[in-house]
Structure 1
Amino acid sequence: MKKFNRIFVMLFASSLFLASCSSDDNSSNESLGDYDNGVFVLNEGNSTITTSSVTFISNSGAVEQDVFRNVNPEAAEMGTLLQSMFFDDTRAFIISGLANKITVVDRYTFKFIATISTDFRSPRYGVVVDGKAYVTNYDNYEVGSDDFLTVIDLSNYTTSRVAMNNWSEKIIEENGKIYIMNGYFGSGTSVTVFNPATNSIETTIPLGFSPNAFEEENGTLYVLGSEKLAKINLSTNTVVGTPITVAAATSAGARNLNIEDNKIYYTVDTAVFAMAANATAAPTVPLLTYESQSLYGRMYGFAVNDGKIYIADGGDFSSDSQIYIYSTTGTLLNPVAVGVGPNGFYFN
C-alpha cells in the first residue's frame, strides 16, 4: 500500500494527471487506446482482494471504475494493497505490496500483458531506465539494512536483486542516474544515488532529517521531511544552503511534495501550502484546506498538474471514497467518487 498506517502494520507487519505521480503525454492527435488521455487513480483497497482497483478519469471528465477488471475479466487479480504504479513508453506496472508482485498492462488499452512475482518482498516504488525496471523493497519493515532493489529485464521479465543496505522508499530517474529516498516514518536520513550502468550505489547524500517525499526540477532535487525542505544540487550531489523549516515539530508534519510551474506544493494534515521554488522561507497561511473524517487517510494521495490540485482521501478503507479537484487558487472544482483507499494519481 502507499503508506503503511499503524493499523495496517499491526495487521500485516504494513488536461488531469511521484510519489507521488507520473506523466507522459501523447503529443499526436491519434488515439493509442481508450485510456491514453486522462489520469489513473490507484485504489489500494484492503486485505480483501476484490477491493483493489484502478479508476480512470478522462480529460473530458468521464469516469470509469475498476478499469483492470473491465478490460481483463479473465485475468488474475492484481493483488491486495496496491502500492504504486509506474510506466515505460507502452506499459504500466502496478505494484501490489502485499501480494509481492507486479501486474503489467498496456498503458493505453489496459490489456493484461504479464505478472512478475519473483525477487520481491514488500515492493514499494519503481522506475524504468534503459529497458530495465528498478523497484524498491522494504523486506523487513523494522530495519533498513535488508532493503533491496529488484531489477527487472523488461524484454523477458526476469529479475535479480541488488542490496541497498539502507531504507529504500521512493525512487526517481534523472539524467541516467537513479535517486532513492532513504526514509520511512522517521527512519533513514539520506538519499542514495544509484548508477544503473554499473548496477551499484554511487554515493549517499546525508540530509540531517528523515525524508518522506522528493521531486526533481531544473537540476535540483527537492527533498521534504516532516519539518524541513532541502535542495540538492544534482551536479555535485550536495545539499545547497540550509534546509527551510516548513512545519512545526508539534504539527502533523509536512508531506506530499509536488512541483508545478516553478511552485512548490506540500501538505500538512488537511491543508495545502504553496511557495515559489526559490523561496527562502515557508508560507504561514495555507492555500486551501479540506474536510476529512478519515482517521488514517487524510491527504492519502496528492498531485498538482496543469493548473489543478488533486487530493485523495482514504476514507474508512472499507468502502469507496473520493478524490477532490481544486484550482491552484484554492477553489473546489469537483469531487469524484473512486474506489477503496485511493492513494495516487498517474497521468497518461
Structure 2
Amino acid sequence: MKQLHTFRKLFAAAAIAVAAFGFTSCEDEPNIPINPEARGPYDQRGVFIVNEGNYGTPTGSLSYLSDSAGHTVQNDVFKKANSNRPLGDVVQDMVIFEDRALIVINNSNKLEIVDAYTLKTQGVVNLAQPRYAAVLNKNKAYITEWVKYGEPGRVAVIDLNGYTVTKTITVGQMPEQLKIVNGRLYVAVSGDNKVVVINTNTDAIETTLDVADSPRELEVDVRNNLWVLSSGKTVYNPDWTVDYSKTTPGALSLINTAGDAAVSSTMTFGSNQSSPGQLTVNGTKDRLYFNYNGKTYSQQISNNTLSTTPILDRSFSGLGIDPETGNIYGSDNNGFSGDGTVFVYKPDGTKVNVFKVGVGPNGFVFN
C-alpha cells in the first residue's frame, strides 16, 4: 500500500516547528500531546504506518508518528484504543475521510470503520478477501474484494451509515487499487489486465480499458488524470523458477479521465526481471515516485519517458511522500521477522530519521 487520502489540521503549525528530525525510539504507551480543542489524540499532524502483520496471525497493527510528540513513534495504537483488541490478520489498506478512517483487513475478511481522531471502532463490515478502499462521500465507500482466488472478484458498495454492503459489482479476477475521479470509480483488475470504469451515481460499469499486464496501483495527478502501474506477468517453470522467455515487463500507463476515459500513453520498463511497484505521488500531485530494480525513482508527470536516475539506491515494502514537506517515507518489512523499520529521507535523498514499527509495514497515511 501507499499514501491514499490525507487531511491536515492547521492548529498543529506550532508543533511542526518543534519537530526537529532525529533518530528516535519506540514507546510502549501513547504519549501524544493533545491540543485542548482537539477531538482526540490523532486530531493533529502526523502519519499512520500500516503494518500488515504475519499472515495467519492477528498481528496486523497501526503505528503513529506524531509531530507534536517530537517525532516519536507510538505502536499498536488501534489495539490500545479498543480495549486491547487486535486489529487483525493482514492489514491491507487505510483511508481517512473527514472524521472517519476505513481500515481494510484482508485475511480477517473485514472492514473496520473507526473514528479518525480516536481510532475507536464505529462499525465492522464482513467482506471476502478485501484489498483496497476508496471513499466517495460521508455516506458511501467502495472496497475491492478478491472473493476467491481464480474466480471473478468484485467491488463492494458500502453504506457508511448502516455499515452494510448495499451492492456488489463483478469486475474480474484479483481487483486491486481503486480511485474516484470526476464522478467515476476506476478499478485496477490485475488478473484481467484492465481498468474497469464505474459510474458512481448508478454503480454500473461504463467501460473497460485494456492496459499492460497485471495492473495493481493507481494514482491521480494534478490534472485529474490517472496513472496505472502494471507489474508485468511472471511465468514460472515447473520447478518454480521464473521463465523469462514468457515473463513480461511492467509498465506505467496514463489514462485521460476527461470526457470518454481512454489510455493516452504507456511507458514500458526496460527489463522483465524486475517488477515495478509502490507507485505514489507528492502533495502537489505533479511528481510520481515508484520502486524498480531495487531502487526508488521520481519523475515529473510531464515526462514521456521513464526516469533512469534513482533518487534512492534501494527499494521499500511501503512508500509514501509527506504532502507538506515532500519527505520520503520508506519501510522495510525485514522479512516479516520481528518488527519492521521505517526510514525518512529529505526530498534530495538525505536520510533524516529511522524507527521501528510493527510487523510488515506496507504503507503510510498522512493526517
Q: If the TM-score is normalised by the length of the shorter chain, which range does it land in? A: 0.7 to 0.9
**Does residue 172 of the first structure (1) align with residue 179 of the second (2)?**
yes
Provide the rounded CA distance (Å) in 2 between the counterparts of 1:247 and 1:66.
40
Provide the rounded CA distance (Å) in 2 between the counterparts of 1:38 and 1:176.
29
Question: Which residue of structure 2 lines up, in the alignment, with residue 9 of structure 1?
Answer: none
**Does residue 63 of the first structure (1) align with residue 46 of the second (2)?**
no
**Which residue type is aligned with residue 87 of structure 1?**
I
Question: Which residue of structure 1 lines up, in the alignment, with residue 271 of structure 2?
Answer: 248
Provide the rounded CA distance (Å) in 2 between the counterparts of 1:165 and 1:110.
32
Provide the rounded CA distance (Å) in 1 between the counterparts of 2:96 and 2:344.
23
Residues 15-164 of structure 1 correspond to what in structure 2 (within 5 A)? Answer: 19-28=2-11, 30-36=37-43, 37-47=45-55, 49-59=57-67, 60-73=70-83, 76-117=85-126, 120-130=127-137, 131-143=139-151, 146-164=152-170
Q: Percent of pairs identical after alignment? A: 31
Residues 290-329 of structure 1 correspond to what in structure 2 (within 5 A)? Answer: 290=314, 299-305=316-322, 306-329=325-348
- Whether the 8 Å CA contact 1:300–1:312 is kept in 2: the answer is yes
Unaligned stretches of 5+ in structure 1? 3-18, 291-297
Please report how far the alpha carbon of residue 246 of structure 1 lies from its aligned counterpart in structure 2 after TM superposition.
3.2
Please report how far the alpha carbon of residue 210 of structure 1 lies from its aligned counterpart in structure 2 after TM superposition.
2.6
1:77-111 Cα shifts (integer Å, max 9, x gaps): 32211111122211111111111111221111112
Residues 140-289 of structure 1 correspond to what in structure 2 (within 5 A)? Answer: 140-143=148-151, 146-167=152-173, 168-183=175-190, 187-217=191-221, 218-226=223-231, 227-235=250-258, 236-240=260-264, 242-250=265-273, 252-260=274-282, 261=284, 262-289=286-313
Please report how far the alpha carbon of residue 277 of structure 1 lies from its aligned counterpart in structure 2 after TM superposition.
1.0
Please report how far the alpha carbon of residue 20 of structure 1 lies from its aligned counterpart in structure 2 after TM superposition.
4.9
**Which residue type is aligned with residue 329 of structure 1?**
D
- Whether the 8 Å CA contact 1:273–1:286 is kept in 2: the answer is yes
Question: Which residue of structure 2 lines up, in the alignment, with residue 16 of structure 1?
Answer: none
**Which residue type is aligned with residue 99 of structure 2?**
T
Q: Which runs of 4+ in 1 moved over 4 A?
A: none
3-state secondary structure, aligned to 1:84 = strand
3-state secondary structure, aligned to 1:170 = strand
Provide the rounded CA distance (Å) in 2 between the counterparts of 1:221 and 1:345.
20
3-state secondary structure, aligned to 1:169 = strand
Q: Which has the larger radius of gyration?
A: 2
Please report how far the alpha carbon of residue 50 of structure 1 lies from its aligned counterpart in structure 2 after TM superposition.
4.6
Provide the rounded CA distance (Å) in 1 between the counterparts of 2:171 and 2:217.
20
Unaligned stretches of 5+ in structure 2? 13-36, 232-249
**Which residue type is aligned with residue 67 of structure 1?**
V
Provide the rounded CA distance (Å) in 1 between the counterparts of 2:216 and 2:188.
8
Question: Which residue of structure 1 lines up, in the alignment, with residue 34 of structure 2?
Answer: none
Provide the rounded CA distance (Å) in 2 between the counterparts of 1:286 and 1:328.
12
Query: Given the superposition, is the C-alpha separation of residues 66 and 283 from structure 1 closer, same or farther in structure 2, using an over 3 Å criterion?
Result: same
Provide the rounded CA distance (Å) in 1 between the counterparts of 2:11 and 2:309.
41
- Whether the 8 Å CA contact 1:78–1:94 is kept in 2: the answer is no
- Whether the 8 Å CA contact 1:20–1:256 is kept in 2: the answer is no
- Whether the 8 Å CA contact 2:59–2:88 is kept in 1: the answer is no
Aligned length: 314
- Whether the 8 Å CA contact 1:20–1:301 is kept in 2: the answer is no
**Which residue type is aligned with residue 327 of structure 1?**
K
Normalising to structure 2: TM-score of the pair? 0.80
3-state secondary structure, aligned to 1:303 = strand
